[in-house]
Amino acid sequence: MSDKFDFMVGRAEQVAPRLLGCELACTVGNQIVRCKIVETEAYDQSDAASHSYKGETPRTGVMFGPPSHLYVYFTYGMHYCCNIVCGEEGVGSAVLIRAVEPLNGLATLATNRKLDLSRLTDRQVVTITNGPAKLCQALAIDKRLNGHNLHESPVRLVLKPALNEQEIVRTTRIGITKAMDMPWRFYIAGNPFVSKQ
């Protein structure tokens, strides 16, 4: 029987769309919150926009480690973003999780984001998790989870069947200044939690 996470060993460009529709099960406070991954970006070692491009450093070591682990980095002086490491061990590649759709625990996530769910309009509810740093704040993912194994609590990856190609939009990545033309951003078409349609 093959490991259900086998596809994580592939190239980031292949893994990123495959992760759409998969779920993260996170222990947040005293409950388990499940979220559907709706937007991802691939970062490869041969990619000038990737943290791993110039080789392994203390910060990026986890990207070069085994797949199916979390690479959490700190940026802009105040934000955490999380990636799922993929590819062979020794290769620096990962998939940035840019947006998720909460399936339960919305009030808890809002509280972590310093928002009051009862005061949010339907239009505003998506802002709880529609960005890479927002979802980390909502799910309480920070530096302590850098290198975390996604087979284990408190953050587990739950695989789901691959989506149909027609359900996935492929386009350029956001917020980078190098390799801006590479179409390595993927999102679920029409999903309201996607950061930018």
Interface characters, 92-111, with DNA (x: CB under 7 A): --x-x---------------
Footprint on residues 116-135 left by DNA (CB under 7 A): 127, 131-134
Four-residue CA torsion sign, 145, 12, 81, 76: positive
- Residue closer to DNA, measured from CB, 2 or 193: 193
Burial 8-34 (b: 16+ CB within 10 A, else e): bbbebbebbbbbbbbbbbbebeeeebb
Q: Which stretch binds DNA (CB under 7 A): 16-24, 30-38, 66-74, 164-172?
A: 66-74
> Binding of DNA at residue 77 (CB under 7 A)?
yes
Nearer to DNA, 21 or 173 (CB): 173
User: Quick check: 52 binds DNA (CB under 7 A)?
Assistant: yes
Q: Does 68 bind DNA (CB under 7 A)?
A: no
Say how far apart CA 147 and CA 144 lie, in whole Å: 8
Evaluate whether 172 touches 180 at the Cβ level (below 8 Å).
yes
Q: How far is the CB of 177 from DNA (least distance, A)?
A: 4
Nearer to DNA, 33 or 43 (CB): 43
Minimum Å distance from CB 169 to DNA?
Answer: 16
Return d(Cα 43, Cα 22) in angstroms, integer.
Answer: 19
Nearest to residue 155, comparing CAs of 97, 195, 75? 97
Residue 173, Cβ neighbours under 10 Å: how many? 20
184 binds DNA (CB under 7 A): no
Q: Does 113 bind DNA (CB under 7 A)?
A: yes
Question: What tokens appear for 143 in the block?
Answer: 């530096």
Cβ nearer to DNA, comparing 8 with 81 = 81
Single-letter amino acid code for the residue at 22: C
DSSP H helices, the chain, are 12-19, 106-112, 122-125, 132-138
Tell me which residues touch DNA (CB under 7 A).
41, 43, 49-52, 54, 57-60, 63, 71, 73-79, 81, 83, 94, 96, 113, 127, 131-134, 174-178, 195
